[in-house]
């Protein structure tokens, strides 16, 4: 099993930090709405949010679709057909190259999921370093074969696949020996919490013995934080500049401010899980604080020498520099060797 998937993916990029195990990807998808300027703005925002990578989708309408493709949801008021929408989402090869260069200037790994062979060729020509396969393309073995020929790492999403289909795709990639990660994904937008499927991280890891992670469409940071706690090595989240933006992916997205919270949270979780503590070590380290926070046994009033101690004679107070509070029952019925003033610390030598 590959234990360094994040570092393999980032080896040709300027990583923000050598710390961290989970590769965090900010997914733009179509939220740029065909605007090149918006796409560049997203790159800056995701870099500022601390993610490792920014991901787009490369659509070439004539190569992947037909004019008869139906809408999943008719959301666009300016596109008569889904095909026209894909046309509006297209960027030229030069524009994709400029987006990639911008991402790399900001220290981000540039990713874009291809949805046709022409898209693969375009992305390969501009120097894709890591390939993200969308769940709808998992059974597209022509596309997989072309991508595997690049020898680059592959991130495989599982959202629309049954086990048979996913097994076949994983086996194909395994035979080619490309570094591989498989992501749990539920293709619901937004995804309700009961369908996120955090349990699948362990299932996928056990089944395929490879890095696993979560492609999250929940629209909040909580699923991602939970996945990090469970050891996710890849975390992909949809990102929007504002929840007031237009587009089908916005309800499934977190804001760039929430992205910052997510990244910080994941890195803190990684530090916590990478540094297990031993109770005895903690107790030894905190021993000096015991006198401040624990209690000892004190005289509750003036007690003359020879007093036979009763419960009402003694009180538990701070600081805890004397006989521990837990020993109080053992002192009842004992005889004082000397007199004690109110609030005076009781010592073992004070007992006959």
State yes or no: pLDDT of 279 exceeds 90.
no
**Distances in Å between the alpha carbon of 224 and those of 67, 208, 258, 275, 327?**
37, 21, 11, 20, 48
**Are residues 292 and 268 part of one domain?**
no
- Please report the pLDDT score of residue 116 as a whole number: 96
Mean pLDDT, rounded, of the chain: 93
* Strand pairing class (314-317; 23-29): unpaired
CB 298, CB 314: distance < 8 Å: yes
Which of residues 237, 253, 274 is at a domain's end?
274
Which of residues 274, 298, 320 is at a domain's end?
274
Which CATH number is 315's domain given? 3.90.1210.10
**Are residues 98 and 226 part of one domain?**
yes
For 38-47, 94-103, 267-276, which range has the lowest pLDDT when averaged over its residues? 267-276
Q: How many domains does the chain have?
A: 2
Q: Convert the pLDDT of each residue in 104-158 to its tens digit.
A: 999 999 999 999 999 999 999 999 999 999 988 999 999 999 999 999 999 999 9
- Please report the pLDDT score of residue 15 as a whole number: 59
Q: Convert the pLDDT of each residue in 50-89 to its tens digit.
A: 999 999 999 999 999 999 888 888 888 888 898 998 999 9
Tokens of 92: 């030229």
State yes or no: pLDDT of 17 exceeds 60.
no
**Are residues 297 and 212 part of one domain?**
no
Which CATH number is 148's domain given? 3.20.20.70
31-51: average pLDDT: 96
CB 84, CB 149: distance < 8 Å: no
State yes or no: pLDDT of 188 exceeds 90.
no
State yes or no: pLDDT of 3 exceeds 70.
no
- Please report the pLDDT score of residue 300 as a whole number: 95
């Amino acid at each position: 099993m590959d234990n360094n998937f994040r570092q393999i993916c980032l080896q040709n990029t300027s990583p923000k930090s050598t710390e961290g195990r989970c590769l965090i990807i900010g997914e733009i998808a179509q939220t740029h709405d065909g605007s090149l300027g918006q796409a560049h703005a997203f790159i800056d925002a995701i870099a500022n949010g601390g993610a490792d990578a920014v991901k787009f989708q490369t659509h070439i309408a004539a190569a992947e679709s037909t004019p008869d493709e139906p809408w999943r949801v008719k959301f666009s008021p300016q596109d008569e057909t889904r095909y026209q929408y894909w046309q509006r989402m297209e960027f030229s090869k030069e524009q994709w190259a400029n987006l990639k260069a911008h991402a790399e200037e900001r220290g981000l790994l540039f990713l874009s999921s291809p949805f046709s062979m022409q898209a693969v060729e375009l992305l390969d020509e501009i120097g894709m370093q890591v390939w993200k396969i969308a769940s709808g393309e998992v059974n597209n073995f022509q596309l997989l074969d072309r991508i595997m020929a690049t020898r680059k790492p592959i991130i495989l999403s599982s959202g629309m696949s049954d086990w048979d289909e996913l097994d076949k795709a994983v086996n194909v990639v395994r035979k080619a020996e490309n570094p591989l990660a498989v992501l749990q994904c539920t293709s619901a937008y937004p995804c309700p919490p009961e369908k996120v499927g955090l349990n699948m991280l362990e299932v996928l890891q056990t089944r395929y013995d490879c890095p696993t992670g979560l492609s999250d469409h929940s629209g909040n940071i909580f699923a991602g934080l939970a996945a990090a706690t469970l050891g996710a090595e890849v975390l992909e989240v949809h990102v929007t500049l504002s929840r007031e933006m237009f587009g089908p992916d916005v309800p499934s997205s977190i804001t760039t401010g929430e992205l910052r919270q997510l990244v910080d949270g994941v890195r803190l979780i990684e530090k916590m899980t990478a540094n297990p503590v031993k109770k005895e070590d903690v107790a030894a380290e905190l021993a000096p604080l015991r006198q401040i926070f624990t209690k000892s046994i004190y005289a509750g009033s003036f007690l003359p020498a020879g007093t036979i101690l009763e419960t009402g004679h003694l009180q538990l107070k701070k600081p805890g520099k004397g006989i521990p509070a837990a020993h109080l029952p053992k002192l009842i019925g004992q005889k004082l060797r000397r007199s004690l003033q109110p609030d005076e610390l009781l010592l073992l030598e004070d007992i006959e």
